[in-house]
Every structure is written in C-alpha cells, then in structure tokens.
Structure 1
Amino acid sequence: MAFGDSTRYQGKGAMSEINVVPLVDVMLVLLIIFIITAPLLTHSVKVDLPKASSTPNLTEPEHIEFAIHADGNFFWSGEPVTLDALSARFAQTVAESPDTELHIRADRDAHYELVAKVMSAAAQAGISRIGFVTDPSTE
C-alpha cells in the first residue's frame, strides 16, 4: 500500500456537492444542548404580590398659568399683576414648590420684549421648566 498513490483517483472528477450530514449532526447536538440548558437559565422566585388598584396615582407639579395680552397687561392665573411684582411672586412660588412649571399664554400681537422679560424673571427666580401654550387650530 503506497501512500501517494494517485492512480486511484485519476478517472474521477472533483466532487461538487456539499456534504450536509456533518452540519446536521452539529445542529442537532446544539439543539439538544439548548433544550437542556434553557430551563436552567430562568431563575424565577415565586412571590405572592399584593393586589392594588389599576388606576395610576399621577401627581402633576404645580404650574403657573401666566397670560400676556397685546396691550402689555400681565395675568397670573387670571389675576392682574405688574411686571415689578413678578420677581417676588416667582421667588415665593419656587420657595413653596421647587418643581413649579410656568405656562405662558402670550397674545399673538404681544411684544417679544414682554415675553423675554417674564422668562428672565422666572429663570432668575429658579423656574427651569417654562412652556408656551398655543392654539392647535390651523388657519
């Protein structure tokens, strides 16, 4: 028996088919391993949890409804207020509730300078959440 005998394969062509039997064997072994180990990976502890109502208890932070009219008048939750008294009222509100939000409703024809002054006074008092209320209707 000679080890380099190539006369045995001279008449045969190269094999062009892929042998899938070893691939199927490996896949079956992996499938069996995963089937055995998958239940071991879930470490669940049975706990009898208390029952609660399904309605969420949402507590919204206090917010200030602030309106600016086109003629320059300011309204704090419907009550007229002057620009000079804003800093003190903002500081008092922040002292009572630090997470207070400011909702500004500015008239379409209100001057931007007035809006900027209100925002500046609120920021200096410590109000960090300022939002603008707009009309969602399209024209």
Structure 2
Amino acid sequence: MSIEIDDKIYDDINVTPMLDVAYVLLIVFIIMTTATVQGITVNLPKASSTPSLSKPKTKAVSITPDGTIYLDTYPVSLQELETRLAQFKAAVPDLPVVVKADASVQYQKVIEVLDIVTRLEISQLGLVTQKLVK
C-alpha cells in the first residue's frame, strides 16, 4: 500500500511517535506503582539507641483444620498449652500472644484457647486474619 503526499511515495510507517507514547506510558506506570504506598503519614517517636534486654517474644497459638493446637511450631494439648503459657507468663508478665485459627476449624476450639488466655490474664492478645482483597 502506498500513500502519495506532496508527490512523494511512503512505503513504511514511522514508529517513532508510537515509541514515544510507549515510553511515556512506561514512565507513568513506574511513577504510579511507586507512589501508591498506602497509609497515613505520622511523626514516629525516636527510640533509644541502647538495645532492649528484655524484649518479649510473641507466642503464636495456631489451630489447624483438623483441630490440632500448636504453640509456636510444637503440637500441644489444651492442658500443655495452659501450662506452657503460664510458664511464659511467669517469666514475662506482659506476654504477647497471637491466635491463628484456620477458617474451617470448629469455633469451640478457638473459644477453648481464648478461655485459657483469659484465665492466665494475658492482656496482649491478637487474632490473625487475612486481608480482604476486593
């Protein structure tokens, strides 16, 4: 196919403007992906430079779909869970505990674990959930 303009015949297509558009789109994409950091800007307090000697380690209680209870990565019974958490609580009074239960686990298992945490008066408790993707 030939197009005649000003008595000249053009047999090829000039791709330079198309490449310019592609480069602009690439730059816009890069800027948009790096600029979409979500959150609220806050002025964070400064911590001391000395390391903390008694940093409490968070204990994770996991419940699998078959009802097995794990303390960190070790399987335990409800009685063992209570005994071990009591030992950790005696060593670290403000012991943080996180409960992770599978979505298909029986609700009663979660309640039993939460009852143990309540009996031991552990106030720093977190329930792990998965972020809902829209």
User: What TM-score does the superposition give when structure 2 sets the normalisation length?
Assistant: 0.57
Alpha-carbon deviation of 1:88? 0.9
- 2:126 maps to 131
Alpha-carbon deviation of 1:93? 0.9
- 1:92 maps to 87
TM alignment of 1:38-117, pairs within 5 A: 56-57=47-48, 61-117=56-112
For the residues of structure 2 that align with 1:62 and 1:107, how far apart are their CA atoms? 23
TM alignment of 1:14-53, pairs within 5 A: none
Matched, 1:118 2:113: yes
Cα deviation per residue 1:69-90 (whole Å; 9 max; x = unaligned)? 1100011111111112111111
Q: Return structure 1 stretches of 4+ with deviation > 3 angstroms.
A: 57-61
Q: Specify the SS of the correspondent of 2:79.
A: coil
User: Retained in 2: the 8 A contact 1:62–1:97?
Assistant: no
Look up the equivalent residue of 1:126 and give its one-letter code. E
Q: Specify the SS of the correspondent of 1:98.
A: coil
For the residues of structure 2 that align with 1:133 and 1:77, how far apart are their CA atoms? 14
| Number of residue pairs aligned between Structure 1 and Structure 2 | 86
Percent identity, aligned pairs only, is 28
Look up the equivalent residue of 1:56 and give its one-letter code. A
User: Retained in 2: the 8 A contact 1:101–1:128?
Assistant: yes
Q: Which has the higher strand share?
A: 2
For the residues of structure 2 that align with 1:87 and 1:79, how far apart are their CA atoms? 14
For the residues of structure 1 that align with 2:121 and 2:95, how far apart are their CA atoms? 9
Look up the equivalent residue of 2:85 and give its one-letter code. F
Select the structure of larger CA radius of gyration. 1
Structure 1 gaps of 5+ residues are 1-53
Look up the equivalent residue of 2:87 and give its one-letter code. Q
User: What TM-score does the superposition give when structure 1 sets the normalisation length?
Assistant: 0.55
What is the RMSD of the two structures over their aligned residues, measured on CA atoms? 2.2
